[in-house]
Amino acid sequence: MPERTIFRGIRLVDPASCHDGLTDVLVEDEGVSAVGDAVVAPAGTEVVDAGGLVMAPGLVDLHAHLREPGFEHKETVETGSRAAAAGGYTAICAMPNTEPVTDNLAVIAEVRNLADKAGLCDVHPAGAITRNLEGSSLTDIGEMAQAGVRLFTDDHRCVQSSRVMRLALEYAKAFDVVIAQHAQDDGLTEGWQMHEGYYSALLGLTGAPAEAEEVIVARDVALARLTGGRLHITHVSAAGTVDLMQQARERGLRVSSDVTPHHLTLCDQDLVHYDTNLRVNPPLRSEEHRDALRKGLVGGTLDAIATDHAPHALEDKEQEFDQAPPGTTGLETALAVILTELVEPGLLDLLRAIELLSSRPARILRLEEQGGPILPGRAANLTVFDPDAEWTVGERPFASMAVNSAFGGRRLKGRVLHTMLRGRFTVRDGEPVW
């Protein structure tokens, strides 16, 4: 007897089919079986009264740190998957800065096994560009790509050598995978603690100039032109990067980029109390940069919103500011932050927001089953949220093992009620199914 669920009168927001309107959606087993008005559901179908709720394709994150293997005191693949499901995600790309580094098939396989066991979210491990993230010799990109790895990055380390970056972009062309760069010039960011500007001078914290990002982006765009490779700039933080990406796009280069909810909403002056949860990498920049990122996102220059979910143990963050590792969690807050800070004030419409959180990142990762469209015959990877429900970050325990949220204590609007991975609820009525 097949499991059937019907969502009656739900607002379906599905960028891949350009749909935004009220409809019924019938889910049978793993897939969507009907979308339309007055869908007739067979007897025994569970009916979800979805008045006022929004259904979107499950969110897709290009950038999450799950910490396993190696740092299981911060997060595991299982707890990270829970956080993803709780936040409405059905697919995430796990960063390779694990211990050992995810620079070979064995670690890729291990992460996938752990993710399958958890079964809450598709986890796509990213491979390292260079062995052990050392920036000098390329990993077996081909072998990993053939095993399905879609994205390669040395994230949190930036590939400094122009030669290595050129070779990575060139070599990866053979496999249609993307080379993602955390753009940050080492020489300009030695010992950095925050964005270089008025507030770094005031607070006596060592600054990282926005230009440290720009110089790498400028170089990498040039290398993308030289090689024809696919370049992705992750967690863009600088206004200058937006301009460079726009120029690259105008020249028809194969470039893409993402930006985080925290860089879109917070800025350096929020650091005046030395709150280590606001210490992130790249740093929160000034208001001008934040506004430029918003403009770049709204205008279509930036392609996706990625969380850079970076969980840390409490004792890691309860330290002196310069000793606390950078990072904020993000999977459980991303949707609500974007709804509250960008959709509610009218900067983005909901369809565009979902495109940035789901469809576009799915396309960058070439994930056929993710990011919509939500049509009969497609896998039921969905999320359903109440766009008007208000909540305070931290009032309920996080699904993540970590509590280091840059948004702790914030009042947000928009709460995930259901998440469905291939037809199975991972979150139901706002409660975890694990």
Other Cβ atoms less than 10 A from the Cβ of 1: the count is 4
CB of 201 to another protein, least distance (A): 4
Rank residues 199 and 385 by Cβ distance to another protein and give the closer one. 199
CB of 277 to another protein, least distance (A): 12
Distance CA 406, CA 426 (A): 25
Do residues 192 and 208 touch, judged by C-beta distance below 8 A? yes
Site track 338-357 with another protein (rule: CB under 8 A), x = hit: --------------------
Rank residues 279 and 378 by Cβ distance to another protein and give the closer one. 279
Helices 239-250 and 211-227 pack at an angle, to 10 degrees, of: 20
Q: Which letter does DSSP use for residue 405 in this model?
A: B
Rank residues 136 and 319 by Cβ distance to another protein and give the closer one. 319
Stretch near another protein under the rule CB under 8 A, chosen from 16-24, 29-37, 194-202, 327-335: 194-202
Rank residues 137 and 323 by Cβ distance to another protein and give the closer one. 323
Instruction: Work out whether 391 is an interface residue with another protein (CB under 8 A).
Output: no
Distance CA 159, CA 10 (A): 46
Rank residues 197 and 361 by Cβ distance to another protein and give the closer one. 197
Distance CA 48, CA 24 (A): 10
Instruction: Return the structure tokens found at 191.
Output: 């010992």
Over the Cα atoms of the chain, what is R_g?
Answer: 21
Site track 35-74 with another protein (rule: CB under 8 A), x = hit: ----------------------------------------
Instruction: Work out whether 137 is an interface residue with another protein (CB under 8 A).
Output: no
Residue 61 appears among annotated catalytic residues: no
Instruction: Return the structure tokens found at 43.
Output: 């007897």
The arrangement of strands across the sheet holding 89-94 comes to 59-64, 89-94, 122-125
Do residues 233 and 303 touch, judged by C-beta distance below 8 A? no
Instruction: Work out whether 204 is an interface residue with another protein (CB under 8 A).
Output: yes
Stretch near another protein under the rule CB under 8 A, chosen from 85-93, 246-254, 314-322, 410-418: 314-322
CB of 319 to another protein, least distance (A): 6
Rank residues 175 and 274 by Cβ distance to another protein and give the closer one. 274
Instruction: Work out whether 287 is an interface residue with another protein (CB under 8 A).
Output: no
In 3-state terms the chain splits into helix, strand, coil percentages (rounded to 5) of 35, 25, 40
Do residues 248 and 255 touch, judged by C-beta distance below 8 A? yes
* Residue from 308, 316, 349, 429 carrying the catalytic annotation: 308
Rank residues 140 and 322 by Cβ distance to another protein and give the closer one. 322
The binder of another protein chosen from 36, 198, 388, 409 (CB under 8 A)? 198
Instruction: Return the structure tokens found at 431.
Output: 């409660």
Do residues 290 and 265 touch, judged by C-beta distance below 8 A? yes
Instruction: Work out whether 18 is an interface residue with another protein (CB under 8 A).
Output: no
The binder of another protein chosen from 274, 295, 350, 413 (CB under 8 A)? 274
Stretch near another protein under the rule CB under 8 A, chosen from 168-176, 233-241, 311-319, 338-346: 311-319
Stretch near another protein under the rule CB under 8 A, chosen from 88-96, 202-210, 405-413, 424-432: 202-210
CB of 72 to another protein, least distance (A): 21
Instruction: Work out whether 203 is an interface residue with another protein (CB under 8 A).
Output: yes
Instruction: Work out whether 206 is an interface residue with another protein (CB under 8 A).
Output: yes
Distance CA 127, CA 154 (A): 8
The binder of another protein chosen from 318, 368, 388, 429 (CB under 8 A)? 318
CB of 139 to another protein, least distance (A): 30
Give, in order, the Cα–Cα distances in Å from 42 to each of 26, 27, 428. 10, 11, 22
Q: CB-based burial of residue 196 (10 Å sphere; 0-12 exposed, 13-18 middle, 19+ buried)?
A: buried
Total count of residues recorded for the chain: 434
β-bridge partners, 59: 89
Rank residues 260 and 405 by Cβ distance to another protein and give the closer one. 405
Do residues 84 and 61 touch, judged by C-beta distance below 8 A? yes
Distance CA 107, CA 221 (A): 30
Question: Catalytic amino acids?
Answer: 308
- Residues lying near another protein in the complex (CB under 8 A) are found at 193, 197-198, 200-206, 273-274, 276, 315, 318-323
